[in-house]
Amino acid sequence: MVGRPLETEFPKRAAALGPERLRVEGLRRGKAVQNVSFSVRAGEVLGFAGLVGAGRTETMRIVFGADRPEEGRIFVDGTEVGIRSPRDAMRHRICLLSEDRKGEGLVLKHSVRENFGLPNLERFLRGPFIDRHRERQAFAGYVEMLKIKVSSQERPAEDLSGGNQQKVVLAKWLARHADVIIMDEPTRGIDVGAKYEIYQLMNQLAAEGKAIVMVSSELPEILGMSDRVIVMHEGRIKGEITDVAGTRQEDILAMAIADGTMADHGQ
Domain boundaries, the chain: 21-93+178-260, 106-177
Look at residue 42 in the predicted model and tell me its pLDDT: 98
- What pLDDT shows up at residue 266? 53
Q: Spell out a b/e string for 87-115, using b for 16 or more CB atoms within 10 Å of the CB, else e.
A: eebbebbbbbbbbebeeebbeeebbbbbb
pTM metric for this prediction: 0.90
How far apart CA 44 and CA 162 sit, in angstroms, is: 25
Mean pLDDT of the chain: 91
Q: Are strands 45-50 and 228-233 parallel, antiparallel or unpaired?
A: parallel
Q: What crossing angle do the helices spanning 132-146 and 162-174 adopt, rounded to 10°?
A: 120
> Which one, of 105, 96, 202, 216, lies nearest residue 162 by Cα?
105
pLDDT for 253: 93
How many other CB atoms are there within 10 angstroms of residue 141's CB atom? 13
For 212-229, the pLDDT digits (tens) are 999 999 999 999 999 999
Q: Is the pLDDT score of 175 beyond 60?
A: yes
Determine the topology of domain 21-93+178-260 in CATH.
Answer: Rossmann fold (3.40.50)
Confidence of residue 263 (pLDDT cuts 50, 70, 90): very low
CA distance 87 to 66: 9
Confidence tier at 13 by pLDDT (50, 70, 90)? confident
